[in-house]
Amino acid sequence: SISTSLFAQNCAFDIMYYTGPFSRNCALNGLLAKQNEISTIDLSKPQFNKAKGFNEGMTFNGNVYGTVFGSELDKIPVIFANQTLIDTYTSENGKRKYDILQLYKDGKWTMDKYIEIANAVKRVDAAGKTTVWGASYGKGNGLFLAAYAGGTVCRKIANGKEVYYPAMLSQAGVDCIELLRKMEFEEKSIMPSGGDNGRSGFKNTVAMIGHDLTEAPDLVTNVDGEVVVVPIPKTPTQKNHLFSARTSYYSIPAQAKNKELIGKIYMELSTINMDAYYESLFIETGLSEENLKLATKEFASYANAEFIDGVDTTKFNNQLKKAYENGTGSVKTIFDSVKDKFQAAINDCYDRASKLK
């Protein structure tokens, strides 16, 4: 296995590409090389700076143990909006009522507006069956949107020292989940999770769907009308759209031989051109360059990191899911019951990081 090989004196590979939780735990256990000490790796190059915030997620005590190349920024979670479908059901006197891309540009792309549009689009037939959905989560239940719309999964607090906590358990996150829970279970304007989570309906029966940017070719080319891509909407307490992602990192094993040569190969790998990736998306989807770069600019420039990725959250998941789906007690009450344990897990991650040499 990869972990067994990392512990071996003669590691079976020279460069590793793996998920955030695994990579970060490898770094915290001293199994990865410090890339800033390899002379053939130049971390000042643009391909590393495009993903600066996420690279900080693998930086401990000033040492860089893993990087995300600029070409990996396609993993950003976004909202795909079928603007033509929205216009069909909400236009007034032939005039567009909700211009999704313009709402984002004007700083008005919020959770409240997202819910308002979803409710306006929804259609129900005489038998009470929903025939047109305002939105679909695309991936997972409401926790997917709430985690991102609540800020980033961990947020820095200026209280004399750096403290990180899961924003999903913050007031903004709780408020977001309460709104989404009402939207799904009371107003029923968002498609429940299940099946293909609205992918097939995005052509003419689902107005908005949450997915990674990598899904653009499959989703957009299936629609005859206009599609736009925007970030996850922000909550009323947010000043900016902030992003998080299920990021994977490129790393070099601490036991690797001839790290200087490996560094040269590493630099070649890192030069995959993000602009070329965007160009392929233009060709495949017809999405405009302006739209794609608007949808990703804050993600690319955000300087915080998703440290929660390095914490084992499986023991909390059932309680969080219960808070969302069952409605037995307020979301805040149930979240408060796990907050201390969650914070302790995050603190443990940082304690381990502080002991790295």
Q: Which tens digits make up the pLDDT trace of 154-182?
A: 545 445 555 555 656 667 677 777 788 88
- The CA distance from 229 to 343, in Å, is 34
Amino acid identity for residue 297 in this structure: K
Q: Are 86 and 98 in contact (CB under 8 A)?
A: yes
Average pLDDT score, the chain? 76
- The CA distance from 352 to 156, in Å, is 18
What pLDDT is recorded for position 229? 87
pLDDT band at residue 309, thresholds of 50, 70 and 90?
very low
The string of pLDDT tens digits covering residues 110-139 is: 888 999 999 999 999 999 999 999 998 776
The pair of three-digit structure tokens given for residue 106, joined into one six-digit string: 């004007």
The string of pLDDT tens digits covering residues 138-150 is: 766 666 666 655 4
- The CA distance from 104 to 94, in Å, is 22
Among 127, 106, 43, 153, CA closest to 294:
106
- The CA distance from 86 to 227, in Å, is 10
Cβ-count burial 273-282 (b if 16+ within 10 Å, e if not) = ebeebbeebe
What pLDDT is recorded for position 223? 85
The pair of three-digit structure tokens given for residue 278, joined into one six-digit string: 């965007």
Q: Does residue 90 surpass a pLDDT of 60?
A: yes
The pair of three-digit structure tokens given for residue 22, joined into one six-digit string: 């695994």
What pLDDT is recorded for position 98? 97
- The CA distance from 247 to 307, in Å, is 11
The string of pLDDT tens digits covering residues 235-246 is: 766 666 655 555
- The CA distance from 119 to 121, in Å, is 6
What pLDDT is recorded for position 185? 81
What integer is the mean pLDDT of 256-283? 78
Instruction: Please tell me the pTM assigned to this model.
Output: 0.74
Match 């603007």 to its residue by tokens: 83
Kindly list the distances between the CA atom of residue 233 and the CA atoms of 104, 120, 258, in Å, as whole numbers in the listed order: 8, 17, 46
Q: Does residue 198 surpass a pLDDT of 80?
A: no
